Structure 1
Amino acid sequence: MDAQPRAAVKTAAAYASRGSSQYDLILTLMCVVIVISNIGATKGVQISLPGDWTIVTDGGFFLFPLAYILGDVVSEVYGFRAARRAIFTGFAMALLAVVSFAVIIALPGFNDSYGAEKQAALEMALGPVWQIVVASLLGFLAGQLLNSMVLTRMKDRYREKALAGRLMASTGAGEFADTLIFCAIAAPVIGITDAGGFFNYVLFGFLYKTLIEYLFVPVTALVIRVIKKREPTYAAAEWEPVAA
């Protein structure tokens, strides 16, 4: 007698193995983005707009949303455990950068005028402002973990459906936590001391980062689809043949 035909049915939410070159590349880029944006965050930025409107932010504002986009890709394709690994690795690399800058600045330099000027420039540009470091690391850790958790929990429920909605919901939750924690600690360091300035700082930071990520949702979704197709372990996990 012929064997019973086998049908493909969807089981649990699918994730690829993190033992792949794509995961390594995304993790590397994520760490670089975090380190550079943390350096930029030490500079306060004030942008004047028509009508006496002023935007208050920091020097890393244009780059940091990319870290969340990469976090979305890792969470959707590789799952929460892989995303948590990437987040903790990025956290460790940011901390290593700060400690390295502190050691470099502390090393004795040349005593001539040029050496003194270089030392002063290094201290000004890369000197660890520990409140900024703590604010950035804690905000990133809380925001990225919340972002990944919301995205993967929603995927457990909706599987491959509603990707854009899942990306937007997780982004809103993660960015709010990140922005609030970072601004609460960093605001006094960059010179924001009044309630109005703090509200402006938090509101602009949250809206800017969130809207940028929302605008890039189609690109993020496209990247996710491409990586899923290139990950043979994801295709194997997504469908599992069972007896009809």
Structure 2
Amino acid sequence: MTQLQDKVQTRFASRGSSHFDILLALFCMVLILSNIGASKGVAFGPIITDGGFFLFPLAYILGDVLSEVYGFRAARRAIITGFATAALASLTFWIVIALPSADFYTNQEALASVLGPVPLIVLASLLGFVVGQTLNSWVLVSMKARNQERHLWARLMGSTGVGEFADTLIFCSIAASVIGITTVGDFANYVLVGFLYKTGVEFLLLPVTTAVIRWIKKREPTYGQVPAAS
């Protein structure tokens, strides 16, 4: 049995493809836009969240696709690239706010009010994102090494639960004061709602995620030709 398992190699695709490039671009775009949206506190009755709530779960879905199809190293490259682009966006906002305004420009206060908190939000997001996405990818690839192509739904949800919890806790711990959350009760609400919402979205979109993964696997000519370490 052990010899048979040794002969079974975990299947991945090469990241040198147009599919990977498109997924990477979407991954970075979703991260940057969700960081901007997260600068606004949002309340639906007793439920407290932020303006990036509807977009950020897509980053984890894209992270799952990258990890499942291209492996841990490719997912790690996407995480590092996403980190760099989000940091660059934050630096750009800071420079734009700091630049002297023209006499005819009357929106400086509004600009600073909207984009001013973004660097702190980005710091919170990046720390949570790096830890959460790395855990998400590592758990998914580890489960794939054990189950190969079987039980895709289990590794998608298992990795999401671990990654989203770490991400949400780190992010909320830093971002809460930025968007105006000051009480323990509101903070617990913020963390719990964020975690349940993000994992719930991924659960609801699980059929879509699995369909996308299977579609890409069938159209990636290198899938199955890349060693498990890639």
TM-score where L is the length of structure 2 = 0.93
Displacement of 1:171 in angstroms is 0.5
TM-score where L is the length of structure 1 = 0.88
The answer to whether structure 1 residue 90 and structure 2 residue 49 are counterparts is no
For 2:202 and 2:180, how far apart are their aligned partners in 1? 27
Q: Does structure 2 conserve the Cα–Cα contact (< 8 Å) formed by 1:91 and 1:137?
A: yes
For 1:237 and 1:197, how far apart are their aligned partners in 2? 47
The answer to whether structure 1 residue 230 and structure 2 residue 219 are counterparts is yes
- What is the one-letter code of the residue matched to 1:97? A
For 1:228 and 1:10, how far apart are their aligned partners in 2? 21
The SS at the match of 1:233 is coil
Give the structure with the larger strand fraction.
Answer: 1
Residue by residue over 1:21-51, the C-alpha shift from the partner in whole angstroms, topping out at 9 and shown as x without a partner, is: 0000000000000000000111111111xxx
Q: Does structure 2 conserve the Cα–Cα contact (< 8 Å) formed by 1:83 and 1:148?
A: yes
Residue by residue over 1:199-239, the C-alpha shift from the partner in whole angstroms, topping out at 9 and shown as x without a partner, is: 1100000000000001111110000001001111104459x
Greater gyration radius: 1
Q: Does structure 2 conserve the Cα–Cα contact (< 8 Å) formed by 1:229 and 1:235?
A: no
Displacement of 1:11 in angstroms is 2.2
Identity %: 64
- What is the one-letter code of the residue matched to 1:191? G
For 1:67 and 1:189, how far apart are their aligned partners in 2? 22
Unaligned runs of at least 5 residues, structure 2: 1-5
Unaligned runs of at least 5 residues, structure 1: 1-8, 49-53, 239-244
- What is the one-letter code of the residue matched to 1:38? N
- What is the one-letter code of the residue matched to 2:127? L
Equivalent residue for 2:101?
109
Q: Does structure 1 conserve the Cα–Cα contact (< 8 Å) formed by 2:10 and 2:224?
A: no
For residue 15 of structure 1, the aligned residue among 2, 5, 12 is 12
- What is the one-letter code of the residue matched to 1:198? F
Displacement of 1:99 in angstroms is 0.2
Displacement of 1:131 in angstroms is 2.8
Residue by residue over 1:91-114, the C-alpha shift from the partner in whole angstroms, topping out at 9 and shown as x without a partner, is: 1000000001111122222113xx
Q: Which runs of 4+ in 1 moved over 6 A?
A: none
Displacement of 1:123 in angstroms is 1.1
For residue 75 of structure 1, the aligned residue among 55, 67, 74 is 67
Q: Does structure 2 conserve the Cα–Cα contact (< 8 Å) formed by 1:13 and 1:155?
A: yes
Deviates more, 1:183-192 or 1:147-156: 183-192
For 1:124 and 1:153, how far apart are their aligned partners in 2? 43
Q: Structure 1 residues 98, 128: CA separation in 2 closer, same or farther (over 3 Å shift)?
A: farther
